[in-house]
Amino acid sequence: DILAVGNVIDTAADYPSTILGSALWHMEATVDHAIEAVKAGEFKAENYGKFSYMEYDGGSVVLDPALLPDGTVADVEAKKAEIL
Protein backbone atom coordinates (compact mmCIF):
# COMPACT_ATOMS: atom_id res chain seq x y z
CA ASP A 1 0.00 0.00 0.00
CA ILE A 2 1.12 3.52 -0.78
CA LEU A 3 0.12 6.16 1.75
CA ALA A 4 0.30 9.91 1.29
CA VAL A 5 -0.25 13.22 3.03
CA GLY A 6 -2.39 15.76 1.21
CA ASN A 7 -1.76 19.47 0.91
CA VAL A 8 -4.04 22.48 0.30
CA ILE A 9 -7.18 20.47 -0.53
CA ASP A 10 -8.74 17.25 0.76
CA THR A 11 -8.24 14.57 -1.88
CA ALA A 12 -9.13 11.61 0.36
CA ALA A 13 -12.31 10.88 -1.60
CA ASP A 14 -10.28 10.71 -4.83
CA TYR A 15 -7.72 8.33 -3.32
CA PRO A 16 -9.53 6.07 -0.83
CA SER A 17 -7.37 4.33 1.78
CA THR A 18 -4.37 6.40 0.69
CA ILE A 19 -4.49 9.86 2.29
CA LEU A 20 -3.49 9.77 5.97
CA GLY A 21 -4.47 13.40 6.38
CA SER A 22 -4.29 16.76 4.69
CA ALA A 23 -3.24 20.25 5.64
CA LEU A 24 -6.03 22.37 4.19
CA TRP A 25 -5.84 25.99 3.08
CA HIS A 26 -8.93 28.15 3.39
CA MET A 27 -8.47 31.17 1.11
CA GLU A 28 -11.73 32.61 2.42
CA ALA A 29 -10.01 34.12 5.47
CA THR A 30 -7.66 36.13 3.26
CA VAL A 31 -10.36 37.17 0.82
CA ASP A 32 -12.77 38.12 3.61
CA HIS A 33 -10.13 40.34 5.24
CA ALA A 34 -9.41 42.10 1.95
CA ILE A 35 -13.11 42.62 1.18
CA GLU A 36 -13.77 44.04 4.65
CA ALA A 37 -10.83 46.43 4.25
CA VAL A 38 -12.18 47.60 0.88
CA LYS A 39 -15.68 48.10 2.30
CA ALA A 40 -14.22 50.13 5.17
CA GLY A 41 -12.16 52.24 2.75
CA GLU A 42 -8.99 51.00 4.46
CA PHE A 43 -7.52 48.62 1.89
CA LYS A 44 -3.73 48.78 1.69
CA ALA A 45 -0.77 46.61 0.83
CA GLU A 46 -0.03 44.33 3.76
CA ASN A 47 1.21 40.86 4.56
CA TYR A 48 -1.79 38.62 4.03
CA GLY A 49 0.16 35.47 4.88
CA LYS A 50 -1.06 35.38 8.46
CA PHE A 51 -4.61 34.86 7.25
CA SER A 52 -3.56 31.37 6.13
CA TYR A 53 -2.85 30.43 9.77
CA MET A 54 -5.19 28.26 11.80
CA GLU A 55 -5.80 31.05 14.30
CA TYR A 56 -7.44 33.08 11.51
CA ASP A 57 -9.37 30.06 10.15
CA GLY A 58 -7.08 30.07 7.12
CA GLY A 59 -5.87 26.54 7.64
CA SER A 60 -6.99 23.27 9.14
CA VAL A 61 -6.15 19.59 9.25
CA VAL A 62 -8.31 16.65 8.21
CA LEU A 63 -7.33 13.12 9.19
CA ASP A 64 -8.36 9.58 8.29
CA PRO A 65 -8.34 7.83 11.69
CA ALA A 66 -8.69 4.42 10.03
CA LEU A 67 -5.24 4.81 8.45
CA LEU A 68 -3.44 6.28 11.45
CA PRO A 69 -1.80 4.57 14.41
CA ASP A 70 -3.71 4.64 17.69
CA GLY A 71 -3.30 7.94 19.49
CA THR A 72 -2.34 9.96 16.43
CA VAL A 73 -5.66 11.81 16.16
CA ALA A 74 -5.50 12.71 19.86
CA ASP A 75 -1.91 13.93 19.43
CA VAL A 76 -2.89 16.09 16.46
CA GLU A 77 -5.91 17.51 18.29
CA ALA A 78 -3.71 18.33 21.30
CA LYS A 79 -1.21 20.14 19.07
CA LYS A 80 -4.06 21.99 17.35
CA ALA A 81 -5.40 23.14 20.74
CA GLU A 82 -1.90 24.28 21.65
CA ILE A 83 -1.68 26.34 18.45
CA LEU A 84 -5.11 27.88 18.82
Using CA atoms, how far apart are residues 8 and 20, in angstroms rounded to an integer? 14
pLDDT in tens, 7-30: 999 999 999 999 999 999 999 999
Alpha helix positions (H), 1-84: 28-39, 72-83
Instruction: Judge if pTM exceeds 0.85.
Output: no
pLDDT at position 68: 95
pLDDT in tens, 23-82: 999 999 999 999 999 999 999 999 999 999 999 999 999 999 999 999 999 999 999 999
Q: How confident is the model at residue 1 (pLDDT cuts 50, 70, 90)?
A: confident
Q: Reading across the β-sheet that carries 4-8, which strands appear in turn?
A: 4-8, 19-25, 59-63
Domain boundaries along the sequence of the chain: 4-83
Query: End-to-end distance of the chain based on CA atoms, in angstroms?
Result: 34
pLDDT at position 15: 94
